[in-house]
Amino acid sequence: MAAKGRHGHGPPSMTVESFITLAFAVLTMVCFVIIVLLSFGVFSVSNGRYSHASSYRAHDLSNIAHNTIHRDGGDVDYDDDDDGRRGDQWVEVISFEPRASVYHNFLSKEECEHLINISKPHMFRSAVVASATGRVTDSEVRTSSGTFLGRGRDEIVRNIEKRIADFTFIPVENGEGLQVLHYEVGQKYDPHFDFFQDELNLRRGGQRIATIVMYLSDVEEGGETVFPAARGNFSSLPYWNELSACGKGGLSVKPNMGDALLFWNMKPDASVDTSSLHRGCPVIKGNKWSSTKWIRVNEHKV
Ligand SMILES: O=C(O)CCC(=O)C(=O)O
């Protein structure tokens, strides 16, 4: 009786060559399917740091990390340079004419309180720059009180100024000292430009290319920053019904403690942007504390 061979009655055995060919074909098919899925966006390749796709919001700038940090306690992550807790941070582009964006929770509550506390003893009536002469003068156009904080005055101010430089890509040295403002009920800043219209003020650092307004308090009613010459369908804003009559006069930003409004007073071609006209609406209820940093095209020597 013939011995039953190992391969005697089974299907023909697979050679090493045909196994390699089959494996290669399967691998090619898998790669093809992955490429098709990627191209249709069915799934995406992430780099770890920015992998929390679900935590992004509409109008996020995708290159800015969206850190979820709790303002009121619990397990809190801190940024290296933070002085206290900052809430959910994201940047919202609100307008292209003028170019403007809001950086939510740019400052922590502690930073807002620090700026108010160090300013309180030194408040004086706010003034304006007269466009014809360039001289600083009192005016009914602006009825708030305020004070200037020297650049780099203390560690908290230095951290804030560094954050502004990171956000705007403009060096700390180009910034004027922070101005802290207090508006009581009825106080306001009428429509104006931040860019200079005189020669005198251009001498120390050139034109004011950009402005950052940081809100150090919430305001119960009124106190919005409004751009009356901005283009856009303002009445479609989700908070339209909460705005004062003045706030409905253009593109409005409601003061929220910790938020920072950045807008550009110059266009990319270096001409001044007249759509950056803006005002601080009268406060109707509550108090408004804010801090403005004007940023020059060149170093602003202190
Ligand atoms: O207080 C505001 O909302 C606007 C402030 C402002 O216009 C400025 O500081 O130039």
- Predicted pLDDT of residue 34: 83
Q: How many CB atoms lie within 10 A of CB 129?
A: 17
pTM of the full predicted structure?
0.74
- Predicted pLDDT of residue 52: 38
Ligand 1, atom 9, lies closest to the CA of: 292
Helices (H), 195-299: none
* pLDDT band with cut points at 50, 70 and 90 for residue 43: low
Cα separation, 198 vs 217, in Å, equals 33
Between the CA of 236 and the centroid of ligand 1 the distance, in Å, is 24
CB 147 within 8 A of CB 119: yes
Structure tokens that stand for 291 in this block: 């801090």
Q: Is the dihedral of CA 61, 62, 65, 68 positive or negative?
A: positive
Helices (H), the chain: 16-39, 109-119, 155-168
Closest CA to 179 of 222, 251, 118, 133: 118
Ligand 1, atom 4, lies closest to the CA of: 280
Q: Ligand 1: which of 147, 254, 279 to mutate, most ligand atoms within 8 Å of CB?
A: 279
Domain boundaries, the chain: 63-296
- Is the pLDDT at 261 greater than 90, yes or no? yes
Weakest mean pLDDT among 31-40, 143-152, 217-226: 31-40
- Predicted pLDDT of residue 40: 65
Structure tokens that stand for 210 in this block: 């950009």
According to DSSP, the residues that pair with 278 across neighbouring strands are 192
Between the CA of 67 and the centroid of ligand 1 the distance, in Å, is 28
- Rg, Å, the chain Cα set: 28
Choose between 110 and 67: higher pLDDT: 110
Ligand 1, atom 1, lies closest to the CA of: 280
Helical pair 109-119 and 155-168, crossing angle rounded to 10 deg: 120
* pLDDT tens per residue, range 99-158: 999 999 999 999 999 999 999 999 998 877 777 777 777 777 888 999 999 999 999 999
Structure tokens that stand for 268 in this block: 């990319």
Cα separation, 218 vs 224, in Å, equals 10
Q: Ligand 1: which of 213, 215, 276, 283 to mutate, most ligand atoms within 8 Å of CB?
A: 213
Please give the mean pLDDT across all residues of the chain. Answer: 83
Q: What residue ranges line ligand 1, CB within 6 angstroms?
A: 181, 189, 194, 211, 213, 225, 278, 280, 290, 292
Q: Ligand 1: which of 290, 293, 294 to mutate, most ligand atoms within 8 Å of CB?
A: 290
> Is CATH 3.40.640.10 correct for 63-296?
no
Please list, in sequence order, all residues whose beta carbon lies within 8 angstroms of the beta carbon of residue 244, skipping any fewer than 6 positions away.
Answer: 221, 222, 224, 281, 282, 284
Between the CA of 216 and the centroid of ligand 1 the distance, in Å, is 13
